[in-house]
Amino acid sequence: MIYLDNAATTRTAPEVVEAMLPYFTENYGNPSTIYSLGSASKKAINQARKTIADSLGANMEEIYFTAGGSESDNWAIKAAAEAYASKGKHIITSKIEHHAVLHTCQYLEKHGYEVTYLDVDRNGIVDPEQLKAAIRPDTILITIMFANNEIGTIEPIAEIGAIAKEHGILFHTDAVQAFGQVPINVDEMHIDMLSSSAHKLNGPKGIGFLYIRKGVKIRSFIHGGAQERSRRAGTENVTGIVGYGAAVELAMKTMEERTRKEIELRDYLIHRLETEIDHCWLNGDRVKRLPNNVNFSFLFIEGESMLIMLDMKGICASSGSACTSGSLDPSHVLLAIGLKHEEAHGSLRLTLSADNTREELDFVVDSIKEIVARLRSMSPLYEDYLKKRTI
C-alpha cells in the first residue's frame, strides 16, 4: 500500500503509541483525584500541555484540550461570537475554510450574526487589503485558516494577525493542517485563538486543542466540572493528551529535516505529473504551500473514478469531486479559486509523508498516467475535445 492521504489523517507514530500505553493500564487514575495515581495522570497532562505551549510560543494556561479540530473551531467561533455580541455581530472569514468553520458561521448567521466570506485569488490566497476593506465597527472576529486542507496554500497569517490587532479584533486561525508542518508563533503572528488536531501530525484521533490567548473572554463550551480551567468540562482524555504531547515533541524535533524531505518529494511528484500528462495543472500556490500537499486537476475525467482505480493499485488518495463529497457540488475550495465545475470534478489530492520514497512516487505517477489515459478513452468530453481539435 502507498499512503498519500496524510491530510486526511496520519499513521500514529510508534513512539506516540508507546508513550500512551502506560496511561491505559497502569496510570489510569482520574487527574482530578488527590491520590498519587491521579497525580501521575495530572502530571502527564501538564507535561503535554507544556510541550504544546512551548511549540507555539504560548503559555501552558493558554492550551485547552478538546476532542479535535472541529470542536476547537466550533468553540472558538461560537463562544467568541457570544462573548463579544455586545460589541457587534459581524464576523470575517474566507470562502475556503474547512466546513467546521463555514458551517459554524452559517449557524451564527441564522442567529442574527453577519458573516463576510472573503474571496481568494487563483492560488487560494486571501488578500489582506480585501480583509481591511471588510472590517466594520461591529466586526468582532476574524477567522482565517493557516493553511488549506485541499490545495495546501499557506495564508499570510502574520499579516492578517497584524491587521486584526491594529483594529482590536479577535483573530482565530484553524491551524489543523499547518501545525507541525510550518513554524507557528502565536505572539509574532498576533494569533488570539488557534485550533489543532493531533491525528494530522502522527498523534491519536479524537484529541485536539484550542489555544486561547490570556485575556480573551470566551465562554465555556462544555459545562460541568473544573477541568481545563472550567472552560471545557469532562474528565480529560489522558491517553490522547499524552499521545498529543509525544506527537508534538516528535514533530518539532523532526520538522526541519522532515519538511525538507517532503518538499523534495512533493516537487518531484509535481514535476513528473505536469511534464508527463497533458491537460492537467497544479492547484494552489507553488511556494506558499504545505510541504506535503499536491493537488492536480485532470481535464475530461472525474475524481472518484480515479480514486477507485488508484485504490485497486494500492494507492490511497483523495479528490474534490462531487461524488466524494456526497453532494452534487464539487469542493467549495476548488470553486473558490475559480475552477469550473468539471475542472474541480477532475481533481486529485496527494498528501505525502516523509516516509514515502521516490520509487513509490514513480509507481504512483505511472499509475496515474495509465488511469488518466484509460478514463479519457471512455470520456465523451475527451472525444468532443479531440473532434473539435481536428476540425
Q: Residues in the site for another protein, rule: CB under 8 A? A: 279, 299-305, 308, 312, 321-323, 326-328, 330, 340-342, 345, 377-385, 388
Using DSSP, state whether 167 is helix, strand or coil.
coil
Cα–Cα distance for residue pair 90/171, rounded to 1 Å: 13
Q: How far is CA 81 from CA 110, 272, 324, in A?
A: 13, 46, 32
What nine digits make up the cell of 168?
482590536
CB of 312 to another protein, least distance (A): 7
Question: Which residue shows C-alpha cell 482520574?
Answer: 30
CB of 378 to another protein, least distance (A): 5
Q: Which is nearer to another protein, 28 or 385 (CB)?
A: 385
Q: Which is nearer to another protein, 12 or 379 (CB)?
A: 379
Q: Tell whether the torsion through CA atoms of 372, 373, 379 and 384 is positive or negative.
A: positive
Element (H, E) at 143: strand 139-143
Cα–Cα distance for residue pair 244/208, rounded to 1 Å: 8
CB of 121 to another protein, least distance (A): 22
Q: Which is nearer to another protein, 226 or 328 (CB)?
A: 328
Q: Which is nearer to another protein, 181 or 379 (CB)?
A: 379
Q: Which is nearer to another protein, 126 or 301 (CB)?
A: 301
Cα–Cα distance for residue pair 36/348, rounded to 1 Å: 52
Do residues 38 and 31 touch, judged by C-beta distance below 8 A?
Answer: yes
Q: Is 377 exposed, middle or buried (0-12, 13-18, 19+ CB in 10 A)?
A: exposed
Give the bridge partners for 173, in sequence order: 194
CB of 332 to another protein, least distance (A): 15
CB of 337 to another protein, least distance (A): 17
Q: Which is nearer to another protein, 270 or 371 (CB)?
A: 371
Do residues 214 and 28 touch, judged by C-beta distance below 8 A?
Answer: no
Q: For residue 257, give every residue at least 6 positions away whose Cβ sits within 8 Å of its Cβ, in sequence order, or none.
A: 354
CB of 3 to another protein, least distance (A): 20
Using DSSP, state whether 350 is helix, strand or coil.
strand
CB of 324 to another protein, least distance (A): 8
- The strand pair at 315-316 and 114-118 is best described as unpaired
Respond yes or no: is residue 316 known to be catalytic. Answer: no
Element (H, E) at 66: strand 63-66
Q: Which is nearer to another protein, 5 or 267 (CB)?
A: 5
* Active-site residue (options: 105, 280, 316, 323): 323
DSSP 296-339: EEETTS-HHHHHHHHHHTTEE-B--SHHHHTSSS--HHHHHTT-
What nine digits make up the cell of 243?
499521545
Active-site annotation, residues: 323
